[in-house]
């Protein structure tokens, strides 16, 4: 078990009107797609380790998705030129933690995994739905890349209780219509008895929450961005993990009010 935590949770999804109603999408402000927070160094060290030691568990790239992956790498590099702490040159990137990351264009997703805290999933249209064709997913929150790879949106979300036909239609419509110049974000939250960021879990496996403390809150800031050349949709994830006691009093009280008396009795594979 590895504990890498932030000091604050900047957005409490259960407290804000803009994130409460599914899918809870909001426009990404210019320059706020890729975030660097106080956990950058520790998260990146873990990402480097996972890419080195568990590559097959965290990386996928279909041959047909290579143009989209290369386009995504170019998009991220362009974005990082304006992010404090990064220095982008033609051959490499100097990162805020002092690492110099080579730009390996033949390994676009792996290069991305070494640069930023965000995980990236690329989804491309096949028939009526988008399917998962490439990913660098170092910090899965109870799902398994091997199991999900190549599947469409409806199939990927099949175990999620709240992902009904109405939400499915709305999400697919959003993927179809999101403009390249107007990325969107949403956030979720989950309760864990284990703070480790690397938690792959197959659909048939259950995420058990102990009734005994300690507990951690995990929140994903998820962004949806369309790539203009390929038309692929990028789903990026920035992870926050905090002990429940590190939340503000208002955040804890409102969370307990929502969860009620059964808060610590949940034993489920489904996130909220």
> pLDDT digits over 26-79, tens only?
999 999 999 999 999 999 999 999 999 999 999 999 999 999 999 999 999 999
196-231 residue pLDDT tens = 999 999 988 888 888 888 999 999 999 999 999 999
Angle between helices 108-115 and 40-53 (to 10 degrees): 150
**Position with higher pLDDT, 216 vs 163:** 216
Terminal Cα distance for the chain, rounded = 22
- Residue with token string 């107007």: 182
The 3-class secondary structure across 232-263, one letter per residue, is CEEEEEEEEEEEHHHCCHHHHHHHHHHHHHHH
> In the numeric block, which tokens belong to residue 206?
């259950």
What is the chain's Cα-based Rg? 18
Distance, in Å, from the CA atom of 11 to the CA atom of 251, rounded to the nearest integer, reads: 10
Distance, in Å, from the CA atom of 64 to the CA atom of 232, rounded to the nearest integer, reads: 11
At 158, the pLDDT band (50, 70, 90 cuts) reads low
**Position with higher pLDDT, 252 vs 165:** 252
Contacts of 177 (CB under 8 A, 6+ apart): none
At 269, the pLDDT band (50, 70, 90 cuts) reads very low
> In the numeric block, which tokens belong to residue 92?
């490499």
Residue 33 CA to its chain's centroid (Å): 12
Q: Name the phi and psi angles at 200, rounded to 5.
A: -70, 140
Q: Count the Cβ atoms, other than its own, within 10 Å of residue 91.
A: 9
- Run of H or E residues at 56: helix 55-58
Residue pair 36/84 in contact (Cβ under 8 Å)? The answer is: yes
Q: Is the pLDDT of residue 162 over 70?
A: no
3-state secondary structure of 225: strand
Q: Which residues pair with 240 in a beta bridge?
A: 219
């Amino acid at each position: 078990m590895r504990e890498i935590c932030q000091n604050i949770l900047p957005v409490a999804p259960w407290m804000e009107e803009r994130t409460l109603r599914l899918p809870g999408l909001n426009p990404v402000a210019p320059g706020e797609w890729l975030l660097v927070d106080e956990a950058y160094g520790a998260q990146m060290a873990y990402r480097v380790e996972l890419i080195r030691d568990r590559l097959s568990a965290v990386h996928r790239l279909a041959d047909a998705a290579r143009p989209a992956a290369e386009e995504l790498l170019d998009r991220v590099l362009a974005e990082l030129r304006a992010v404090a702490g990064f220095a982008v040159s033609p051959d490499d990137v100097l990162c805020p933690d002092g690492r110099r990351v080579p730009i390996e264009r033949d390994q676009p997703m792996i290069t991305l995994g070494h640069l930023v805290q965000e995980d990236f999933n690329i989804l491309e249209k096949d028939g009526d739905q988008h399917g998962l064709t490439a990913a660098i997913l170092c910090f899965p929150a109870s799902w398994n890349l091997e199991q999900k790879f190549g599947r469409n949106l409806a199939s990927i979300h099949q175990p999620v209780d709240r992902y009904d036909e109405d939400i499915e239609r709305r999400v697919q419509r959003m993927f179809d219509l999101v403009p390249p110049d107007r990325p969107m974000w949403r956030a979720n939250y989950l309760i864990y008895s284990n703070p480790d960021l690397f938690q792959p879990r197959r659909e048939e496996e259950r995420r058990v929450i102990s009734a005994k403390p300690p507990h951690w809150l995990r929140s994903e800031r998820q962004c949806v961005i369309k790539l203009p050349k390929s038309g692929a949709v990028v789903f990026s994830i920035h992870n926050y993990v905090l002990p429940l006691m590190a939340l503000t009093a208002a955040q804890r009280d409102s969370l307990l009010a929502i969860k009620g008396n059964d808060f610590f009795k949940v034993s489920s594979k489904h996130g909220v």
